[in-house]
Amino acid sequence: MNKLVLVTGATSGFGEAIAKVFAANGYDLCITGRRADRLNQLKQELEAKHGVHVTELIFDVRDRSQVTDAINILKNKVGRVDILVNNAGLASGLSTIDEGEIDDWDLMVDTNVKGLLYVTRTVLPLMKERGGHIFNIGSTAGKLVYKNGNVYCATKFAVEALSQSMRIDLLPYGIKVTAVNPGMAETEFSLVRFKGDQERADNVYKGFMPLQAEDIANTVYYCATLPAHVCINDLTITCVNQANGIYSIKDAEKVNSTK
């Protein structure tokens, strides 16, 4: 029997890349997100290419009853989850605290913190009996705050706290918890943060090579395939041009850039 990996937010970016890596290595999948067309396309692609079973669940992680109904479908169909990747999340806006949009704050807290909690709480009964592995996608923004990052950073600090708590609370069940904290990565993240402003989104990554979704996917896969007694608790991953959530450099500014 193949292991079952549930990936939230598999319609783009890290989640899609993570689904692809696990499928290529023979894992069955449950892929989730709100964009049904993309989920369906990914399901067809992974099943045809890799011969694995893919369940698609279309739901909004912010909606408790949608989460419960969707996971119940999985419970009845497959009955277990071996690996949960809590990846669905977003930033919305980039403003000082006195000028931020309160709707943006609600969206980020509801998705990145409450959504992650709803999914985790609902999935755990499908994991506890056999043990398993939870990955929480945090961020360098959850390690160090940056200007205008306020609420997004706070949600990722919360993910960090929840990862630490889960690791303690789930010890009796042999469930591993790995917090993966990426720095700047070129996905749809900035397009979403800047509400469809492609030029502004592209500018974030100009002048250097940011992380790619596959870098994070390969890292998650590596952590998931270590020996049963080994758990990587916490990982911070940046591209070579970034030191932390504040300091990064364009290629042209490097001391050896003209060599």
Instruction: Check binding of 149 to ligand NDP (CB under 6 A).
Output: no
Number of residues that bind ligand NDP (CB under 6 A): 28
Residue 242 has what DSSP assignment? B
Q: Which of 182, 201, 239, 248 binds ligand NDP (CB under 6 A)?
A: 182
- Name the minimum Å distance from CB 220 to ligand NDP: 11
**13 vs 132, beta carbon nearer ligand NDP:** 13
Q: Residue 62 binds which entry of ligand 8X3, ligand NDP, none, with Cβ cut-offs from 5 to 8 Å by kind? A: ligand NDP
Instruction: Check binding of 139 to ligand 8X3 (CB under 6 A).
Output: yes
Cα–Cα nearest to 120, from 158, 83, 86, 167: 86
**Counting beta carbons within 10 angstroms of the beta carbon of residue 189, is it exposed (0 to 12), middle (13 to 18) or buried (19 or more)?**
buried
Instruction: Check binding of 245 to ligand 8X3 (CB under 6 A).
Output: yes
Q: What does the block give as tokens for 250?
A: 């364009």
Q: CA-CA distance, 95 to 91, in Å (whole number)?
A: 11
- Name the minimum Å distance from CB 180 to ligand 8X3: 11
Cα–Cα nearest to 53, from 44, 62, 61: 44
Q: What are phi and psi of 255, to 5 degrees?
A: -60, -30
222 catalytic per annotation: no
Interface residues with ligand 8X3 (CB under 6 A) are: 139-141, 149, 183-184, 189, 245
